[in-house]
Chain A
Amino acid sequence: MKLNTLLYLAATLLFGSANLSSCKKDDGGPLKSETGALQIEFENRVGNQALVLNSQTYENANGDDFKVSMFKYYVSNLTFIKDDGTEVLVPESYFLIDAADPATRTPRVDSVPVGDYKAIKLTIGVDSLRNFAGAQDGALDPAKGMFWTWNSGYIFVKFEGSSSKSTAAANKLTFHIGGAKAPHNTIRTVTQTFSSPLRIRKDSEPELHFIVDAGALFRGATTVNFAELNFTMGGAASVLVADNYASRMFRLDHVHN
């Protein structure tokens, strides 16, 4: 009887643990599809020049001089697009790239289903759902300094520096772009098409090389004049800056298959 009881409990526990695994995220079908990995490199620049923090002086489209002391941004929701238009979202793909931390510039992405892809789509920032979810971990940990505590939500792109034209104290430039709610929604997506298909295979690791232009914040639909705009933390001015960088900040330079 005692043995029977133990067996019964053991069976119940096994049944329990079987259910445990059933709650894991489904990866697309009854048959587990094969996946591969890739490497992405984000090369930070200002226009055609390499981004060098603090020491290098650049010029914006308005002819204003500026230096960069901080450039951080979120890239999220990587989505690979197949020839037939099918979109494959890489789950939990949130990356924080920090120009001051070289290790963050080359994230590795795994769990991409094996196949050929014609384009990649990414979000500059953090999707609305995750902005309004509770406390997060990893790249989205508020300890990363990319979260507004007084007005909950992520800072998507954080640019700080200085310009002799800035009228702010100590000639500072402060561009903290974020906001996930209309009318000041600054979530932007970028799609880049590959010149030849990206091949994801089980045993190779292709590399995507993006050039990321910090200068893109200040030109485009709105030419930013640092005497007039040198500080934004969300709101209407942040929308202007996001509209500027939406189509110009990320450029796919090449793919190594």
Chain B
Amino acid sequence: MFRNWKVAGIIASVIILGYSCEKDRSSGPEGETVAFVRPSNFPEPVYQFEGNKLTAEGFELGRKLFYDQALSLDNSTSCGSCHQQFAAFANLDHSVSHGIDNCLGTRNAPPLFNMVWQSEFMWDGGVHHIEFSSLNALTNPCEMGMDLDSLTARLSRTSPYPHLFQKAFGSAGITSQRVLKALTQFMGAMVSANSKYDKYVRREPGGEFTQAEQAGYQLFKAKCASCHTEPLFSDFSYRSNGLDLNPLDRGRDSITNSSADRGTFRVPSLRNIEVSRPYMHDGRFFFLEDVLEHYNSGVKAHRNLDPSLRNGERRGIPLSKTDQSNIIAFLKTLTDHEFLRAKKFSEP
């Protein structure tokens, strides 16, 4: 009995020590800690919740905020409006995002998962920290249109937010920093690593590839993986895949002011690609078949076209119809049905 208490005491002190270096906590919140577990086939994450310890209270607050339309100027739009769980938190069938006052943006809402492995966000990489990844959508007049002072004032007079912030951060007060950190806890915990592909590489049950999937995987490794690098299925670089001869959207150049970046965009992850259509930065392709055919025959001679898509006069990646259908079969093994249905990420 005494022995058990001793163990309990040590555990208690370990928990206290765990919180003791957290800057923005005057006392540790109660309740269990939401664990972040790195999948065994993934590298170390970029963001390790430093200064923003992942807790059940912080995560639940972030989840509530994520789905609350009160975060938009006219109470019409939540984060979840354009980031739908069944679409891996992309916006199904919307080429570009649809904000307050029926305002249409210029780019496709990206899916949200495995964000803690990303050091830059958005199609142009203009946001360089996960804690700021929600800031543009919150404040952009064509998205949620809020200014941060109005947002924190609104939340401060909306029950039960004052209580929830107190619980999550250990002291009273609602600041933009706390809103962003809570949202980060929720989104940062969104890990998608249980697709058939993951089970295949981890040699787990349910990871048996069909012949088409296996053939597609071999083709993928030979023809696609130099940009869509495993296991995150992106190398997070910015490239032009020759969508247009004269792109309307400056892409990465709007951040770097460099003509070499004109019309280049972040290489997107291909995880959950089956369910997160439409595709490309402007959502121009609605079917994976269109995307594969683009690489086979549609690549334009844009002046910043990626060298990997240029072979002398030949542009693109030669892919027969069979190659294309095998690659698509493989891409569908990247769908993580557990993630798409996980209750903890759904609207509370």
Contact = CB atoms under 8 A, between A and B. Distances in A.
A227 interface: no
Interface residues of B, number: 42
B127 interface: yes
Nearest to B15: A16
Contacts of B24: 137
A142 B12 contact: no
Interface residues of A, number: 33
Given A8-B6, A16-B17, A151 B126 contact: yes
Contacts of B184: 134-135
A19 B20 CA distance: 7
A17 interface: yes
B16 A16 contact: yes
Contacts of B8: 9
Contact of B176 (A142, A150, A152): A142
Given A8-B6, A135-B132, A135-B176, A150 B181 contact: no
Nearest to A151: B126
A151 B138 CA distance: 14
B-side interface mostly = helix
Contact of A152 (B126, B152, B175): B126
B177 A141 contact: yes
Nearest to A238: B257
A133 interface: yes
A229 B317 CA distance: 45
B9 A8 contact: yes
B148 A142 contact: yes
A9 B130 CA distance: 39
Contacts of A236: 257
A16 B20 contact: yes
Nearest to A21: B20
B131 interface: yes
A17 B12 CA distance: 11
Contacts of A16: 12-13, 16-17, 20
Given A8-B5, A133-B129, A143 B21 contact: no
B180 to A, nearest CB: 4
Nearest to A20: B20
B129 A134 contact: yes
The residue among B10, B24, B129, B181 with the most chain A CB atoms within 10 A of its own CB is: B129
Contacts, number: 99
Interface string A132-155: 111111000111000101111100
A182 to B, nearest CB: 11
B181 A1 contact: no
B172 interface: no
B136 interface: yes
Interface string B134-163: 011011100000011100100000000000
Contact of A134 (B5, B9, B180, B254): B180
Contact of B255 (A5, A141, A142, A151): A151
Interface in B278-296: none
A96 to B, nearest CB: 14
Contacts of A152: 126-129, 132
B180 A135 contact: yes
Contacts of B129: 132-135, 152
A66 B284 CA distance: 46
Interface in A30-52: none
Interface in A166-206: 184
B132 A12 contact: no
Contacts of A100: none
A136 B5 contact: no
A16 B10 CA distance: 10
Nearest to B4: A5
Interface in B7-37: 8-10, 12-13, 16-17, 20-21, 24
A4 interface: yes
B152 A13 contact: no
Given A13-B16, A134-B180, A143-B152, A5 B2 contact: yes
B10 A134 contact: no
Contacts of B52: 134
A174 to B, nearest CB: 16
A115 interface: no
A142 to B, nearest CB: 6
Given A141-B148, A142-B135, A152-B129, A135 B13 contact: no
A157 to B, nearest CB: 18
A141 B12 contact: no
A149 B177 contact: no
A179 to B, nearest CB: 9
Given A20-B16, A149-B139, A150-B136, A4 B176 contact: no
B2 A12 contact: no
A235 interface: yes
Given A19-B16, A23-B21, 15 more contacts: A4-B2, A16-B12, A17-B16, A23-B20, A134-B51, A134-B181, A135-B180, A135-B184, A136-B177, A137-B24, A142-B132, A149-B132, A149-B138, A152-B129, A234-B257
8 contacts: A1-B2, A12-B10, A13-B13, A143-B149, A149-B132, A149-B138, A150-B127, A235-B257
Interface of A: 1, 4-5, 8-9, 12-13, 15-17, 19-20, 22-23, 132-137, 141-143, 147, 149-153, 184, 234-236
Nearest 5 CB-CB pairings of A with B:
A134-B131, A16-B16, A143-B148, A135-B180, A20-B20
